[in-house]
Amino acid sequence: SKTINFKGDHQAGVITKEQKDASFIAFDVTSETLDGLETVLKILTERIAYLTQDHVLPANTDDKLPPHESGILGRALKPDSLTITVALGDSLFDKRFGLAPFKPKYLQTMTSFPNDRLEPNWCGGDITLQICADSPESVIYAVRDIIQHTNRYLSPRWKMDGFLPSRDIDNKSTAINLFGFKDGTGNASASDEKLMNELVWVTDTDKEQSWCVGGSYQAIRLIRFNLEFWDRTPLEDQENNFGRHKISGAPIGMKHEQDSPEFDKDPHGDRILFDSHMRRAEPRNPERHTAKLRRRSYSYSLGLSNTGALDMGLIFVSYQKNLKTGFIDTQKRLNGEPLERYIKPFGGGYYFVLPGLNNDQSYMGANLI
């Protein structure tokens, strides 16, 4: 089973290739003191260090005590590429801990966009964990371990599980979302270190709080799909919503997924509509060649809504060093897009991903506390 090192200047799970399964959990901190918050961050660091390594699990020797761990993995812990990424919400920088002066510059409460119908119990949270691995049981094992070790200090607020199609874990093809479209084609390449420093990671030349260097802003949007309506929509309309062909992922009128959409040769939007998701998301004006965010989304599937509709959709996740020019401005360009007829954002929030645990720190977040 593969292990991913959680240490370094940056946390794992941001530019890491997407694992197959994920769980996003937002917590509120119940402790009211800075000491309590420090304890939480220390426990999280310790559990992440433990859970991301191979272990033989401890035997239970006293049957009058609860077992040491859930037992759902048998006798051995195999992380299956587990990463656990810790981020802080803007509510953590309120009066409780005296951290207001250190709030990351762009961190704010996520407010409603025109097509949103935000449900408060699916929004916000002081701390989020993005837990990803290549099997659902490895994700669940980590979720239960963390809740068991933190429940004196953290109260879960919302949780959403995600998945990607299993045939894509060979890293060769782009994941397909629940509309049946390849999702991630135009994404900024994670292997381009220079680009990631330009788009994703806060660096020491950015005008940010100094403790933020190495971190990133995380935007999470829980978006429900109207799939009954979508599945009765003609293929041509489906494709025009995105500006791409359904099976190949190629820009409309082109053959291959990675073909350039050549907006300059289509100045009137005859081929790829001005209103298409891709053209609105990235108009590719001369001064704007690449996306200003890195997307890392998952599909979700819950039960049925109370009207009997499928409750399925997308956990949209993006990482960027500038929340405004990254997620917020992109979403503003998308406001009013025809795709909105099929989607309803109902939850999520904005968070700041802590810098990684490098050798100067004894626990994640030590530079802030």
Question: Cβ closer to ligand HEM: 162 or 186?
Answer: 186
**Nearest distance from C-beta of residue 2 to ligand HEM, angstroms:** 25
Q: Are 28 and 106 in contact (CB under 8 A)?
A: no
Comparison of 212 and 223: residue with beta carbon closer to ligand HEM:
223
Rounded to the nearest whole angstrom, what is the least distance from the CB of residue 235 to ligand HEM in the complex? 14
Closer Cβ to ligand HEM, 342 or 363, answer by number:
342
Token pair belonging to 29: 């901190």
Q: Residue number with the shortest CB distance to ligand HEM?
A: 186
Is residue 345 within 8 A of residue 318, CB to CB? The reply is no
CA 98/CA 101 separation, integer angstroms = 8
Burial 294-317 (b: 16+ CB within 10 A, else e): bbbbbbbeeeeeeeeebebbbbbb
Give the shortest CB-264-to-ligand HEM separation in angstroms.
14
Q: Is 328 left (phi over 0), alpha (psi -120 to 50) or beta?
A: alpha
CB of 132 to ligand HEM, least distance (A): 19
Tell me the DSSP string of 289-345. Answer: -S-SSEE--EEEEEEE-TTS-EEEEEEEEEEES-TIIIIIHHHHHHTT-GGGGGEEE
Nearer to ligand HEM (CB atom), residue 10 or residue 244: 244
The C-alpha atoms of residue 278 and residue 11 are separated, in whole angstroms, by 29
Confirm if 25 and 143 have CB atoms less than 8 A apart: yes
Do 359 and 334 touch, CB atoms closer than 8 A?
no
Residues forming contacts to ligand HEM in the complex (CB under 6 A) are 177, 179, 181-187, 221, 223, 242, 244, 277-278, 281-282, 291, 314, 316, 327, 330-331, 334, 343
Please, which residue, 199 or 368, has the CB nearer to ligand HEM? Answer: 199
Between 45 and 216, CB nearer to ligand HEM: 216
Least separation, in Å, of the C-beta of 310 and ligand HEM?
A: 14
